[in-house]
Amino acid sequence: MKRVAVFTSGGDAPGMNACIRAVVRGGLHYGLEMFGIIRGYNGMIKGDIIPLNSQSVSNIVQRGGTILKSARSKEFMTPEGRKKGYDQLKAHGIDGLIAIGGNGTFTGAEIFFNEFQIPTVGAPGTIDNDLYGTDYTIGFDTAVNTALDAIDKIRDTADSHDRIFFIEVMGRDSGYIAMQSGISGGAESILIPEERQTVEDVVSVLKAGFDRKKSSSIVIVAEGDEEGHAAEVAEKIKATIDVPVDIRVTNLGHIQRGGSPTAYDRILSSRLGLGALEGLLNGQKNVMAGIVNDELIYTPFHDTITKKKLINSDLLRMASILR
């Protein structure tokens, strides 16, 4: 193996640049020619592939987003699009790939490997922390701290005006951000896709707070919760609760994806980037590099995509006790 290309795909996550840096400098350390594919699978199809050296990844470890850009490619979902991508890789002499992304990225990578057998190792880059085969994904810790900072500020306003705030955080089908930011932010209720909680359950918690003379409350809602988005949940609560109360809704949205990565995310990203690169050199293919119990492991893309990553049951228990 002489030429390796790295790309980022799907939603951006703080720490992707640190991961790119680790991949590139690791490759240069082992005598490889390193390349970057701009805008993920779209760039692969178009041949937007550039050489990378040590200077290319200088001064990026602290930057959010991704210097290689990111995009979702409908064309890559077709056999014709994947064939174009393969032809471009061959034209550039690429022998192996490092894919930084989430579920959709690895789904595409698995299909691509099965069709063309270009060795590919993934690094888990998504703030959702929903990938089986790693305890934490790149960007999750930063997203939780970003959400927590906002929750702390909203708590001040809630206390000042005796309000209930419903705060929506990202996570799609995963409640990891909601659970960790909710517990650390002292939320009275946390709604996540992994655990069914009805409107009546939330009303019961809020009423118990009123009985204790609690003047304000915070309810965290994961965007994928079965009861709906935060605005929908707030409307249902308003129609159900029989206590006069001022209810407000805040959707934190894409601020959770941006910003300088935390120290933890920078270290995690560097470990995963170098681990993915070294795995590729050691014959790993069609797998994702992950950290489980502080050890580097490799999980087949198929398992990463299809197996459900469960939230720690102790966190669920603790959240119900501490609210």
Residue written as token pair 């601020």 = 255
Known binding residues for ATP: 11, 72-73, 102-105
Helix (DSSP H) and strand (DSSP E) numbers for the chain? 11, 11
Known binding-site positions: 11, 21-25, 72-73, 102-105, 126-128, 155, 163, 170-172, 186-188, 212, 214-216, 223, 248, 254-257
Per the CB < 8 A criterion, the answer to whether 17 and 68 are in contact is no
- How many other CB atoms sit within 10 Å of the CB of residue 210? 14
Q: Are 172 and 130 in contact (CB under 8 A)?
A: yes
Residue whose structure tokens are 């799609």? 172
pLDDT of residue 149: 98
**If DSSP codes are grouped into helix, strand and coil, which group holds residue 158?**
helix
- The model's pTM is 0.95
Among 4, 104, 18, smallest CA distance to 66 is for 18
Nearest residue to 192 (alpha-carbon basis) of 156, 155, 152, 233 = 233
Token digits for 181? 């930011």
Tell me the residue length of the chain. Answer: 323
Domain extents for the chain?
3-139+261-306, 143-257
One digit per residue, pLDDT tens: the chain, 323 residues? 999 999 999 999 999 999 999 999 999 999 999 999 999 999 999 999 999 999 999 999 999 999 999 988 999 999 999 999 999 999 999 999 999 999 999 999 999 999 999 999 999 999 999 999 999 999 999 999 999 999 999 999 998 888 999 999 998 789 999 999 999 999 999 999 988 888 888 888 888 888 788 778 999 999 987 787 899 999 998 888 876 778 999 999 999 999 999 999 999 999 999 999 999 999 999 999 999 999 999 999 999 999 999 888 898 889 888 87
Alpha helices (H) along the chain: 16-29, 40-46, 79-91, 103-116, 140-161, 176-184, 199-211, 230-240, 263-281, 301-306, 313-322
Environment class of 285 (CB within 10 Å of its CB; exposed 0-12, middle 13-18, buried 19+): middle
What is the spatial distance between Cα 88 and Cα 254, in angstroms, rounded to a whole number?
Answer: 33
Spatial CA neighbour of 270 closest among 20, 64, 68: 20
Q: How many CB atoms lie within 10 A of CB 62?
A: 11
Tokens of 309: 């990553």
- Active centre residues (catalytic): 128
CA distances from 306 to 72, 208, 215, 281 (A): 20, 40, 44, 26
Residue type, 26: G
Specify binding-site residues for ADP. 21-25, 155, 186-188, 212, 214-216
Topology of domain 143-257, CATH? Rossmann fold (3.40.50)
**Which distant-in-sequence residues (6+ apart) come within 8 Å of 61 by Cβ?**
17, 18, 21, 266, 270
Sign of the torsion angle spanned by Cα atoms 201, 207, 212, 213: positive
Tell me whether the CATH fold assigned to 3-139+261-306 matches the one assigned to 143-257.
Answer: yes
Q: Please determine, looking at this structure, whether the domain spanning 3-139+261-306 carries the CATH number 3.40.50.450.
A: yes
